[in-house]
Structures are given as C-alpha cells and as structure tokens.
Amino acid sequence: MFSFITKRLLSGILLLAVVTTGTFFIAHLAIGDPTPGLLGNSATPAQQAAMRAKIGVDRPLLTQFWDWLSHAVTGDFGTSWRTFTPVNDDLALRLPVTLSVVFFATVLSAIFGVIIGIACGLRPGSVFDRVLKFASVVLFALPGYWLGIVLVQLFALGLGWFDATGYVSPEISVGGWLRSITLPSVALALGAIVMIAEQLRNSFLEVNNQDFVRTLRARGLSKRRVTRHVLRNSAPAALTVLAMMFVGLLGGAIIVELVFNLQGIGILTQQSSQNGNIPVLLGLTVMTVVFVVVINLLLDLVLGWVNPKVRDR
C-alpha cells in the first residue's frame, strides 16, 4: 500500500511540475505585456514601466520563473497584480464557494446516481429505466445556464425556498449556506446524476450477466447478497465517472457561478485571464492540479478497497 501511494504521489508531483511550468510560460507568452489590462489605456509609458518594475515582469522570464517557483514550493503564490494582496487570500476567499457547490453537487450525484442506477439495473426495460434514458438525453441537451435560470424561477422566485443569487458563508449561517448552495449544486448535479446512473446501470447489467453471478444465484444466495456482489464489481466505472465529474465541475462551474452570482474560482479564472493577472492564474492552476492528484489518489484507494486486484496493477 505504501509503495502504491508513493508511486501515485510521485506521478502527481511530476504532473504538477509539468502543468505549472507549461502554464507559466504559455501565460507569459500569450499575455505579453500585462500593464494595459491592469492599468487601462490611459497609463503613460512611464507609468506602465513603473508597473512592470513593480510586478517584476521587466526581468528575464527565467528569473521570473525561478522567483515564482522558489516561493511556490513553500506555498507562497505571490501577490495579485490587480489587488496587491496575496494570491493565497484570493484563493482562500473563492475556493470555499466553488468547493461548497461542487462538493454538494458531487454528494447529490453520488446518492441519486447510485439509487437510480441500481433501480434501473435491477429492472432493465422498465418504465423507470426508460424514463432514465429519456432524462439522460434531455439533461445532456439542456444548457446549464438555462437549467440554472429555470431552477431560480421555480424555487427561488416562485416558491422562495432558496436564495436567487449569492453565497452565504457557513460561518455566518449554516442554514443560509445551505440555502445559497442548493440550487447551484442541483443545477450542476442534474446532468451528473443521470451520467452516473447510466454508467452504473450499464455496468450493473454487464456484471449481472457474468458467470460468477449465475453461480452465486445457483448456490442459493439471497437476491440482496447477489446484488451486493454485483454492485461491488460494477462500482469502479461509476466511481471513476464521479471522480472525473468532481474535477470537471471544479474547473467548469463558471456558468453556474455567473447565473447565481457566486464569486468562485470559475469567475476568478475568467477575470484573471481578462486582466492578465498571471500570479492568480498560476495559483489557480496549482490548486486545480493538486485537486486532480488528490482526487485521483483517493479514487485509486477507494477502487483498491472495493476491488483489491486493482492495488496490484
């Protein structure tokens, strides 16, 4: 197990190094001179030069990279070129917003995806199964933006159950926090629920037809115990989808953030790109890659627990 985790961590560190190095140079090459985005176009050449000196982009690119890297390994991602506050402060402000929504969406997806997936897997071709098929097509076709607006109209403006926009920190009010993240999480989760349910259902059917299941049934095991065996063997596919979904939502929650006015990392990424705020972009990149590595590691551990054969690969 130790060697398994060590290997995964080393490959994660390598991934982190490659992605952040690539992002650093690509961002600098793509943005070029960040001062117009930061100062506007009324800045004089002297003011632009002063800003370049202040943020250190007047130095050779390799010097800048070494400076950034040597601080980044200590957890210091530098200072935002826009607000001149630590990048870590920006991330600490935005990350809980996106994480709250994405984590809640993942929990909803896991619970409902598994329940629906098993229900359909147990009764393929039933009305419920056909409804799932139809829902998969519809929910994949519906734009997230539209879905968010409909949820707001129905449950925030119509019924008044939830907040239409904004984020409430759980430190201020746990109830307020749940009210503020429920609709965006549901908007994110709806598509994921059917994706996981569909994946689990197909995997469930495939395993259900395998010889060992027939053997279990022939040995007279109860339907419940057989289902547990089938589920254990069909879970890896759905778990992989769930993990991929979490990472995907983390980077792709911007539409939902816009609809619900949640100041999360999606909007921060967009704003930083527009302003040419490279330190924040790099901080976001590192954070996202760390999440990818951690989620993949957790996935591997869970898969290994569900199916011990995986640990040996």
Partner 1 sequence: MTRTRTTALVAVAVAAATALAACTSAGSNNPGGSTGGGGGGAEITELKAGVFLDVTSWDPASADIGFDGPYLSAVYDPLVALDNEAKPIPALATKWEWSADRLTLSMDLRTGVTFDDGQKFDAAAAVANLKHLKAGVRSGQAYLNVTDVSAKDEDTVELKLSKRDDSLLYFMGLGRSWMASPAAIAADALAKGPVGSGPYKFVADKSAPQSQYVFTKKDNHWDSATYPFKDVQLLPIMDQTASFNAMQSGQLNAQFANAANLPKAKEAGWNISSKPSSWVGVQFADRTGAQVKALGDAKVRQAIAYAFDSAGILQAVGNGAGTATNQLWPVDGKVYDKSMDGKYQTNMDKAKQLLAEAGYAGGFSVKMPMSPIFQAWQPAANQTFGDLGIKVEWVDMAMPDYQKNAPTYPMFLAVIAMSGNDMATLSDQVTTAQWYNPNPSVDKFPEVKALVDEVEKAEPAAQTELLKKLNTKLVDLAWWDVWYQADNMYFSAKGIKVQPVTGMMFPTLRFIQRG
| Distance of closest approach, residue 263 Cβ to partner 1, in angstroms | 4
Give the bridge partners for 79, in sequence order.
86
Residues 113-152 that bind partner 1 (CB under 8 A): 115, 119, 122-123, 128, 149, 152
Name the segment binding partner 1 (CB under 8 A); options: 4-12, 20-28, 227-235, 267-275.
267-275
**DSSP state letters, the chain:** -HHHHHHHHHHHHHHHHHHHHHHHHHHHHHH---HHHHH-TT--HHHHHHHHHHHTTTS-HHHHHHHHHHHHTTT---B-TTT-SBHHHHHHHHHHHHHHHHHHHHHHHHHHHHHHHHHHHHSTTSHHHHHHHHHHHHHHHS-HHHHHHHHIIIIIIIS--S-SS----TTT-HHHHHHHHHHHHHHHHHHHHHHHHHHHHHHHHHHHTSHHHHHHHHTT--HHHHHHHHHHHHHHHHHHHHHHHHHHHHHHTHHHHHHTT---HHHHHHHHHHHT-HHHHHHHHHHHHHHHHHHHHHHHHHHHHH-GGGGG-
Q: What's the CA gap between 125 and 133, in Å, rounded?
A: 10
According to the binding rule CB under 8 A, does residue 272 interact with partner 1?
no
According to the binding rule CB under 8 A, does residue 91 interact with partner 1?
no
| Distance of closest approach, residue 159 Cβ to partner 1, in angstroms | 8
According to the binding rule CB under 8 A, does residue 275 interact with partner 1?
yes
According to the binding rule CB under 8 A, does residue 274 interact with partner 1?
yes
Q: Which is nearer to partner 1, 245 or 262 (CB)?
A: 262
Among 20, 23, 37, 282, binds partner 1 (CB under 8 A): 37
Q: Which is nearer to partner 1, 215 or 261 (CB)?
A: 261
| Distance of closest approach, residue 308 Cβ to partner 1, in angstroms | 32
According to the binding rule CB under 8 A, does residue 261 interact with partner 1?
yes
Q: Which is nearer to partner 1, 280 or 292 (CB)?
A: 280
| Distance of closest approach, residue 23 Cβ to partner 1, in angstroms | 18
The contact pattern for partner 1, residues 161-200, with x = CB under 8 A and - = no contact, is xxxxxxx-x---x-xx-xx--x------------------
Among 25, 158, 228, 232, binds partner 1 (CB under 8 A): 158
Q: How many CB atoms lie within 10 A of CB 191?
A: 22
**DSSP state letters, 126-138:** SHHHHHHHHHHHH
Name the segment binding partner 1 (CB under 8 A); options: 135-143, 245-253, 254-262, 284-292.
254-262
Name the segment binding partner 1 (CB under 8 A); options: 3-11, 206-214, 231-239, 270-278.
270-278
Q: What's the CA gap between 156 and 143, in Å, rounded?
A: 19
| Distance of closest approach, residue 232 Cβ to partner 1, in angstroms | 21
Q: What's the CA gap between 27 and 276, in Å, rounded?
A: 8
| Distance of closest approach, residue 28 Cβ to partner 1, in angstroms | 15
Residue numbers at the binding site for partner 1 (CB under 8 A) = 36-37, 39-44, 47, 51, 83-85, 93-94, 115, 119, 122-123, 128, 149, 152, 155-167, 169, 173, 175-176, 178-179, 182, 258-261, 263, 267-268, 274-276
